[in-house]
Chains A and B, each alone.
Chain A
Amino acid sequence: MLMINRLRVEIVTGEGLYGIDEEFEDGLNFLASEDNTCGKSSILEAIYFCLGFEQIIGGIGEKVLTSAYKTFIEDGEKKLFVLESKSYLEISNGKEEITLFRAAKMSNRDSRLVTVYYSSLEKRLNEDILVEDMYVHMPNSATNVKGFHHYLEKFLHLQLPMVPSTDGSQRKLYLQLIFSCMFIEQKHGWGDIFSGIPILGIKDSKKRVLEFVLNLDTLSNERKKENLRFEEGRIKNEWTVEVRELFNAVNRETCEIFGVPIKPCVLNEIDLTGIHISKNKQKLDTFIEELKCEYKNLEAIKPKVVDNFDDLQEELEKTELAVEEFEEDMRSLREKILYENSCIRVLNDNIEILENDLRNNKDSARLRALGSELDCMTSENICPVCQQTIDDTLLPMVEGIEIMSIDENIRHLESQKIMLSYAKESHRQNKENFDSQLQSLQGKVFSLRRLAMALRNDLYSVEEDISEAIVYKKIDLLNKIEKMEEIRKLVNEKKQKLMLLGEQWKKYLEDKKKVPNKKFSNSDLEKLEKLKSYFVSNLKKYGYKSFVDMSVIEISEESYLPVIEGFDMKFDSSASDNVRGIWAYTVALMQTSMSKAGNHPNILIFDEPNQHSIIPKDMEKFFDSIISLESNSQTIVGITVKDSDTKATMEKLPEGKYKLISVGNKAFGRLSE
């Protein structure tokens, strides 16, 4: 759980120290003032800011804070300039207390820095207190050890899940997202349930937050599924790599292979025997046998030049013919390679030009933004002379032809670049193929030439000499046999590997089966049922009137938000009932989490819940229901007590059940050192 114990804001001005220093208690806390403009929101902002949740207000860093933190504060008639502003927040997780310190304006201190004192605010300066500096809103601050939110997650004993992000990768669910459903902020929070949720690139972020808060099993199911998907990808990938290696090795020796499963599957020994390799339409084994046989025959022939001049002559002619054929092939291959090379060169030039264009276009976009900052009208597509709209081009325009905006132009160029890179890649692959073909041809021609040379030598040699051709053939055969055997070995190795992958694939399929098909486990359904019943009973309590029949309200199994006959409840609700809906849902979420061991940190903040002049009786019921929540939870309500109705409501609440913090005329008064 998260509990806010004490907040101290210090604003240093030329006239001394201003600020507030208030303690909060568990249960209901009111932050009440008589005027709406005097800075309750500023005080709540300090809480968000210390926790690094200012994205809920609408941005990152001190810029979202009110001017009191940055420029000046008012004291009576005087305007005092702010020199430094610092916020301290003492929080507790039920067992330990820590104090957070973050400065909105302070020289030599980055506003992204959060200092954690491992003690209460009172004792933070004692000697033996451990102090650590951490940061927020920097890359990886949710996962990095020095990231404050990483620390806060541990401190609150939350275990945030990894969830899919919009770019397809896995990211940790952000704390800001979770707290946006508990901290209802004044400006964005009252539009709709969850309307204050920041957009941080998490897919279905509302859904993920609710799953986490309610601790639904679907989340772990999703995670399991995600893992399985990853496993599937890995096996498929490795399988393709193995198969490709196999094909490459076999093709290099101009053999063919049959019966290799291209996609992962479970293999047994029998399946493996179905994998055949053949060379020249023969089985590899037979081919090797034949080679060996040929070798033996050669052995039998005496390696002498016998009276077979005609045979030698004939063989020489055949060999030379073969060489010529191969050379022809090589020539055409070389031509193709030259062509591919020139294609690649042209594409490279084009890509370079495109990159240059892209850079310049991005510069233009930036310059346009700079122009806008200086109020240049041309940057807004307005003619500075006649105030009419103009197109962003210096080329003479033909009426009726649209032009791209810079952003469109950049996208246009980027997709061109992708296209060219793709073309380049395919040309490169062609070239590689031709290269390897050329190489193998060269090898063949080389060995044929050697044979031809040996034959020629034999033709002119003395009769009793050892036949060079036969010796050469023998060596050649030995080489071939060796290579073929290597392939046989490789294929066997690969078979084993594929077997192993097949086993893993089997395991993957089994695991996949184990993942429940039904989206919700029984306990999930119970939780959703509970959420619904709390929600409906809260609605009744708060005087929701847009429907007479509350039984039509359902909690959607898709979004976990309340729907009526499949439609968002908001469409059928009046404005004030919409606000009641937000009260009811926010409170019901915490109630459900409390009774069903969810992950709710048991804290709620409402800024100005009395929107749309809700009648005081309902307001009172709302506060009553908060008071009647179990202990161990904290609610902070910022409220304006301007009219007598609200005042009466507050007075009716049972004494001692809530803490009232009155904010005076101005939120930040003089503060003693």
Chain B
Amino acid sequence: MDNFLLTNEIIFESKPDAVPYNYRISYKVSQLCLIISSSCNGKGGCSLVKLHIISSALNTKAYMQILDDYMNEKSSYMLVRFDPAVNRGIKYAVADGLVFQLKNGTFRLTEKGKRLMIKINDEENLLLNEKRYLSSLGKKLTNEKIESLMSMWRYKNVDDK
């Protein structure tokens, strides 16, 4: 067994893996809080599908454009990537007491979450692109729009099975 070549010369050492910012807990949780605070009116809360739609749009400029086009009725249909990281992120947010879930399943910010928003908004350069896009999107993505989009998915992708 000692006859392996170069066993003493070559040592493999595992190095830590890089994690894309998008999958950092702090980033995703803050992003979700930001979406809840700027895209939903207070009482209704924010549905999980909506979080998915906007969070996926925030990924790249191209996705932002696609959502914009759909909102402005330039295109009648869009696909959304349902990222499991959003689900995990919202779970962390709930567990950390930044967000709570209403009876109907939607999410709202807690007092602590609101305090976090104030801190984030105080720092002008923090999450600059996200803030800019969300303020342009405003509250335009209504539940009706989401409903109609979801029904489209049902029809259009029925063959995909």
> Are A360 and B21 touching (Cβ within 8 A)?
yes
B150 → chain A closest CB, angstroms: 24
Q: Is the CB of B115 within 8 A of A374?
A: yes
Binds B, one of A6-14, A392-400, A437-445: A392-400
Q: Which residues of A contact B27 (CB under 8 A)?
A: 360, 363-364, 367
A-B contact number at CB 8 A = 106
Contact A367 B120 (CB under 8 A): yes
Docked CA distance A378–B112 (Å): 14
Asked whether A552 is an interface residue with its Cβ less than 8 Å from the other chain, the reply is no
Interface readout for B77-93 with A: 1 if CB under 8 Å, 0 if not? Answer: 00000001100110010
Q: Beta-carbon contacts of A356-370 to B below 8 Å, as 1s and 0s?
A: 010011011111101
Q: Which residues of A contact B (CB under 8 A)?
A: 357, 360-361, 363-368, 370-371, 373-374, 376-379, 383-385, 390, 392-396, 401-404, 406, 408-409, 412-413
Task: Label chain B's interface by main secondary structure.
Answer: helix
A406 to B27, CA, bound (A): 11
Bound: A393/B19 CA distance, A: 7
Q: Is the CB of A377 within 8 A of B19?
A: no
Asked, given contacts A378-B92, A384-B97, whether A395 binds B19 with beta carbons under 8 Å apart, the answer is yes
Residues of B within 8 A of A408 (CB): 16
A377 engages B96 (CB within 8 Å): yes
The verdict on A393 contacting B24 (CB below 8 Å), with A374-B116, A378-B92 known, is: yes
Give complex CA distance A385, B94 in Å: 10
Q: Is the CB of A368 within 8 A of B26?
A: yes
Q: Once the chains bind, are A394 and B89 in contact (CB under 8 Å)?
A: yes
A401 contact from B14, B28, B112, Cβ within 8 A: B14
Question: A385's closest neighbor in chain B, by CB?
Answer: B95
Q: Considering the complex, which residues of chain B in the window 104-138 have a beta carbon less than 8 Å from any beta carbon of chain A?
A: 112, 115-116, 119-120, 123, 126-127
Nearest A-chain residue to B123, judged by Cβ = A366
Given A378-B25, A384-B92, A401-B14, answer yes or no on A363-B19 (Cβ-Cβ < 8 Å). no
A394–B127 CB distance below 8 A: no
Q: Which of B16, B20, B95 is in CB contact (< 8 Å) with A402?
A: B16
- Chain A residues within an 8 Å CB radius of B46: none
Smallest CB gap from B113: residue in A = A374
Cβ-defined contact, B120 with A393, below 8 A = no
Residue pair A376, B98 in contact (C-beta under 8 Å): yes
**Chain B interface residue bracket vs A:** 20 to 34
The answer to whether residues A406 and B119 also contact, given A394-B85, A395-B85, A401-B17 and a CB cut-off of 8 A, is no
User: Residues of B contacting A402 with CB < 8 Å?
Assistant: 14-17
| Complex Cα gap A377–B97 (Å) | 10
Measured between beta carbons, the chain B residues less than 8 angstroms from A361 are 21, 24
B119 lies within 8 A of A373 (CB): yes
By a CB distance below 8 angstroms, the chain A residues around B16 are 402-404, 408
Q: Which of A366, A374, A377 contacts B126 (CB 8 A)?
A: A366
Flag whether B18 is at the interface (Cβ < 8 A). yes
Choice from A357, A366, A393 contacting B25 with Cβ under 8 Å: A393
Query: Is the beta-carbon distance between A409 and B116 smaller than 8 angstroms?
Result: no
CB contacts (< 8 Å) of A366 on chain B: these are: 123, 126
Given A371-B29, A378-B29, A409-B18, is A364 in contact with B116 using a C-beta cutoff of 8 Å?
Answer: no
Ordered nearest first, which 4 A-B pairs have the shortest CB separation?
Answer: A384-B95, A394-B85, A368-B26, A360-B21
Chain B residues, Cβ within 8 Å of A384: 92, 95-97
Known: A364-B26, A394-B88, A395-B85. A357 touches B96 (CB 8 A): no
Report yes or no: B126 in contact with A357, Cβ–Cβ below 8 A: no
Name the residue in B26, B95, B120 with the highest tally of chain A Cβ atoms < 10 Å from its Cβ. B26
Q: List 8 A-B contacts (CB under 8 A).
A: A364-B26, A367-B26, A371-B29, A376-B29, A383-B95, A392-B26, A396-B84, A406-B24
Choose among B21, B98, B115, B120 the residue that contacts A364 (Cβ–Cβ < 8 A).
Answer: B21
Q: Is the CB of A370 within 8 A of B120?
A: yes
Q: Which residues of B contact A360 (CB under 8 A)?
A: 21-22, 27
How many angstroms between the C-alpha atoms of A377 and B22 in the bound complex? 19
B39 at the A interface (CB under 8 A)? no
Question: Which listed residue (B18, B23, B95) contacts A394, Cβ 8 A?
Answer: B23
- Interfacial chain A residues near B95, Cβ < 8 Å: 377-378, 383-385
If A366-B126, A370-B119, A370-B120 touch, does A357 touch B20 (CB 8 Å cutoff)? yes
Over the window 119-161 of chain B, the binary record of Cβ atoms lying under 8 Å from chain A Cβ atoms (1 yes, 0 no) is 1100100110000000000000000000000000000000000
